[in-house]
Amino acid sequence: MATAAAVRAAPLPGEVDEVTGTVVRVSVDGYAEGPRSSGIAAMATWLVTGRGRTQVPTSDLAGVPTGATVRARLGARRTAAGSRPDQLAEAGRTVLHRQVIAGVGTPTAPGDTAVAAASSPHTVTIALVIPPGGAADTMTLTRLESTVESTVSPFWSEQTSGLVTFTVTRRLGWTTTTTGCDDYFGLWNEIAERTGFVWGPRNHLVLYLGGSPSTCYPGLGTVGGSVESGGYLYVNGSSPTLVAHEFGHNLSLGHSNGLQCDRRPDGRYSSTTRSWTNSCTRREYRDYYDVMGVSWDQLGSLSTFHAQRLGVLAAGQISTVTASSLVTLRPVSGHTGLVSLRVDDPDGGRYVVEYRPASGRDAWLANDSQNWPGLRQGVLIRRVDPTDDAESLLLDGTPTVPLSWSTDFDTALQPGGSLTTWSGRVVIKVVTVSGSRATVLVQVDGKSPTPTVTVLPPTDPERIPRVPLTDPVTTTNRPRTAGHLPRRQVRTVSATTIRR
């Protein structure tokens, strides 16, 4: 373990060091706990070496994945321009040269199960901490343990099909630290030494900070490399969803954000100018459906974007579309059938489509007192963030002018609604919805889905009713078996599910 002094040590002006270390990122969550605040977030970046941890400006290692091993030449320390998370993330030793000498392996693909057995829980050490400026409050070890084991663990178990569970194995009651939140690794290290915690896979250290000290962010968590990772986190608040959010970072997840554009649902991002067309603005946390956004009042289903990242969707639960298709989606809260659709724009950009009705864990959407933003049920479309592929951007299916953005939470597509991607080449249209399914038409370059002829045995020619051929979009959506669908519908069904 590195000491706080080692972490904070600065080189002399002009000094250059060459180090080899592992890239570790910390999600600095600058929201204020409460339903109406989204705030600012940023990823701070560190190099973990044999001598300790050294912070480097996040932009200096842009594009280098978390968990990679890097050989770097480090220059003088850059001081933070302010106390905002995005300003603090640009502090640290400047990186003059970098070379990735070891990656983090092949990302988990949908349906992969190359992970540890679900019978092995993640172990958790909890501590009630009074940092400088803090004070003991009404939180107890029993209550914090219950939050982890009775609320957070069942949530992540359900969202990962039993792969991830948490059990508390060590506890430390109210204790005062000499290290404050301005040195969060030093704070974590101080408690780790007192509890015997050792950083490692499936091993987590959770600090509850008493008295809501003003120098501490509402939440902070290290970002793991996979669903098997452990990590550090602290919370400066008692909300169970806040704890679940920080655990999500430990498990490798980024944030669920939003993209708001001037009367358009999408825009083109330029990596050269780092700007969007259509006056689009990236909004931190602005996905009120998802725990990795700002869903603080309700703990709804994990978005299928993040479920894909964790590799917990079975092959039959996800489909990738690169050509025009007609697809039936099942509710994301059901965890059965096809729940996630990946759509690739030929000109760049990946979109993730899911159906979220008020059912199961998402039943709160139909309760006006619980659903204070007025989120609608329907089909949600998220875009992989072009600036960070670990994060998502919830697109607005009914975009408005900028003056209305602060109160516009109407993002879900309803029957007849459609969304056109920034290039104009892909249109995603909701055909029909019911409580148990949503039919979605994806058109690429204006083409209709290509039908496939299904040949039935000649011994039973009357199984196909003799009905006029109709457009598949307008055909009645009554539940039937494939063998008893009109001929045109049989063609459509067999042609529109593309799976990997």
**DSSP assignment, residue 263?**
S
CA 5 – CA 15 distance, rounded (Å) = 18
CA 401 – CA 411 distance, rounded (Å) = 14
Q: How confident is the model at residue 119 (pLDDT cuts 50, 70, 90)?
A: low
Question: What pLDDT score does 296 carry?
Answer: 66
Distance of CA 353 to the CA centre of its chain: 14
**DSSP assignment, residue 196?**
T
Read off φ and ψ for residue 311, nearest 5 degrees: 75, 30
Tokens 């978005």 correspond to what residue? 303
Yes or no: say if 264 and 399 are a contact pair by the CB < 8 Å rule. yes
Cβ within 8 Å of residue 154, ≥6 positions away = none
Q: How confident is the model at residue 87 (pLDDT cuts 50, 70, 90)?
A: confident
CA 300 – CA 326 distance, rounded (Å) = 27
21, 223, 324 from 101: Cα distances, Å: 10, 20, 41
Q: How confident is the model at residue 114 (pLDDT cuts 50, 70, 90)?
A: very low
Average pLDDT over residues 126-130: 98
Asked whether residue 482 carries a pLDDT value surpassing 60, the answer given is: no
Q: Which two tokens stand for residue 62?
A: 């842009």
Yes or no: say if 495 and 475 are a contact pair by the CB < 8 Å rule. no
Domain limits, the chain? 4-102, 122-250, 256-449, 452-500
pLDDT of 3-50, one tens digit each?
A: 333 334 444 445 568 899 999 999 887 764 443 343 677 889 999 887
Q: How confident is the model at residue 113 (pLDDT cuts 50, 70, 90)?
A: very low
CA 288 – CA 412 distance, rounded (Å) = 12
Which alpha helices (DSSP H) does 277-383 contain, by range? 304-310
Read off φ and ψ for residue 253, nearest 5 degrees: -85, 145
Q: Which two tokens stand for residue 329?
A: 């989606």
117, 224, 313, 387 from 227: Cα distances, Å: 12, 8, 13, 22
pLDDT of 424-477, one tens digit each?
A: 999 999 999 998 999 999 999 999 887 644 444 554 434 434 333 333 333 333
- Residue 37: name the closest of 219, 393, 237, 285 by CA: 285
Report which secondary-structure segment, H or E, holds 188. helix 184-195
pTM of the model: 0.82
- Residue 206: name the closest of 228, 185, 221, 224 by CA: 221
pLDDT of 212-270, one tens digit each?
A: 888 898 899 999 989 999 999 999 988 999 999 999 999 999 999 999 999 999 999 99
Q: Which CATH number fits domain 4-102: 1.10.10.920, 1.20.1050.10, 2.40.50.140, 3.30.565.10?
A: 2.40.50.140
Collapsing DSSP states into helix, strand and coil, what is residue 293?
A: coil
Asked whether residue 332 carries a pLDDT value surpassing 90, the answer given is: yes
Q: How confident is the model at residue 103 (pLDDT cuts 50, 70, 90)?
A: confident
